[in-house]
Amino acid sequence: MSSSMSLRGLSQLSLDAVSRSAIPTRSLMIAPQASCFSTSAARYANPTMKKKGMGAAPKKGVKSLRITKSNKDAAGSGKRPAPGERKAMRKRIVLSNDNALEVAGLQDLTAENALDASHQGKVRGIPEEAVDALRAVEAFKPRQGWSLFRRPAVLMRKETMELAQIMKKIESSEKSKKESKRIIVYGERMGGKSTLLLQGITMAFLRKWTIINLPEGQDIVNAHTDYAPLPGSQPLQYTQDTYTAGLLSQIVKANQGFLAATKVSAKHDLPLPLSKGATLKQLAELGAANPEAAWPVFVALWTELTQPGRPPILVGVDGLSHIMRESEYLNSNVKPIHAHDLTIVRHFVDLFSGKTALPNGGLVLGVTSGSNSPANSAIELSIAGAEARQSKSALPQWNPYKAIDQRAVECLKNVDVLKVSGISKEEARSIMDYYAESGVLRAQVNEGFVSERWSLAGMGNIGELERATVRLRV
């Protein structure tokens, strides 16, 4: 019965093969291509036909061996992330947590009180506009605990107040002879070095300084962006157009107010036409939009920023040890290019070594990293030297058996250092009160608890303190 049915069905299928497009392709395979004896019976037969492969699985199971998995299984049940999605997830910065409680008495830093010494040991909120600027210059790092709290706030620790004092001094220096400072920030891993840079940028933003931040030294030298030799440079230097364009757009976002309000004053030799009376913002945007012109635009912008009467400049770089060594880029002889031969790095290094002055005053901060830093004996030596100078003790001898980068040593000869060590117990108390008020720390904050956590966090290492109190709740 069934065989005759299927035969009839098959004959019908083969006959009007043109008209059936909705039939599954599998049945196409078994359809005989030969013509039937008769067509009439098939024509009038019931067209509803039992489709093959739609029935139940064989009762005794499938005995044939299936070695290969179907592609569907191999892909897994879930949806695979799109290219770049994983990295975006990894680098995502979340700055608020709706589940955290609003801290009642949290004061914000303002333009007036940003550099006040009265903040010492208090937790202060970062105002909204400063948060935008900080986000633009990538001052927030993915591994920091911003996502635990309602909104970004920072502890104004002793080192922050030292930095504020330095900035105050720079601001109050005479107009004709503006002061500038060059500082290496170093210290323990998770000790708050990058956060100190962030605090510096915040204060600079509130005090209307110009901010230029190189968020990660490794990104400049790891050969992930394009590079090209700079024509006419001796010795040969290399520009990184895409990176420079990105940097220009960051500068625009972070210094919107000042750049939009200031007109280009000098005549610049640019590869692209710039309308007369353009603002600095337009100049920078020109470079950001046209990577091939990015470097000349950056140079022009820098010239503009260092014109007399312009605000002081804060230049920051995180991950200093990466840019004090050979980069991953190769020259035409397939030799590694020294990081100092990259124009952006060279620009920063000249500022850092004091070769290029900051006529309007400013602060150059080089922040070392505790977790992502290749061994760099030049930095170690310069830190030891600066410490000896500050404590008026004998200068350290350098180990002749250690490979040392001479260019880096030259560059770091006369820089100051700022050590970021553990916070004091009072500061720990203050930040733990903030944790408790945010609702992320449920324990009662008393002296015993504070000092216990302070000890366990390696004498007040703030990152470890956060880890031990907020993240690793037992």
Site residues for other proteins per CB under 8 A: 188-190, 422, 425, 447-448, 451-452, 454-459, 461, 464, 467-468, 472
Nearer to other proteins, 98 or 447 (CB): 447
Considering beta carbons, is residue 216 or 464 the nearer one to other proteins?
464
Read off the amino acid at residue 183: I
Nearer to other proteins, 328 or 452 (CB): 452
User: Using CA atoms, how far apart are residues 448 and 164, in angstroms rounded to an integer?
Assistant: 31
8 A C-beta contact, residue 159 and residue 418: yes
Least separation, in Å, of the C-beta of 283 and other proteins? 47
**Burial (CB count <10 Å: 0-12, 13-18, 19+), residue 211:** buried
Shortest distance (Å) from residue 321 CB to other proteins: 18
Distance (Å, whole) CA 300 – CA 273: 13
Residues belonging to the chain: 474
Please report how close the Cβ of residue 190 comes to other proteins at its closest, in angstroms.
7
Nearer to other proteins, 22 or 472 (CB): 472
Contacts of 11 (CB under 8 A, 6+ apart): 36, 39, 42
CB of residue 460 vs other proteins: minimum separation in angstroms? Answer: 9
CB of 474 to other proteins, least distance (A): 9
In the complex, minimum distance from the CB of residue 126 to other proteins, in angstroms, rounded to a whole number = 26
Alpha-carbon distance values, 281 to 136, 293, 434 (Å) = 15, 15, 39
Distance in angstroms (rounded) separating the CA atoms of residues 162 and 156: 10
- Long-range contact set of residues 12-16: C-beta below 8 Å, sequence gap at least 24: 12/42, 12/43, 12/45, 12/47, 15/39, 15/42, 15/43
Closer by beta carbon to other proteins, 359 or else 370? 370
CB of 418 to other proteins, least distance (A): 19
Nearest distance in Å: CB 183, other proteins: 23
- CA distances, 126 to each of 94, 143, 194 (Å): 15, 18, 15
Q: Choose between 187 and 316: whose C-beta lies nearer to other proteins.
A: 187
Nearer to other proteins, 201 or 465 (CB): 465
Q: Residue 88 in 3-state DSSP?
A: helix
- What is the biggest distance separating any 2 CA atoms in the chain, rounded to whole angstroms? 112
Comparing CB distances to other proteins, the nearer of 316 and 422 is 422
Q: How many other CB atoms are there within 10 angstroms of residue 5's CB atom?
A: 14
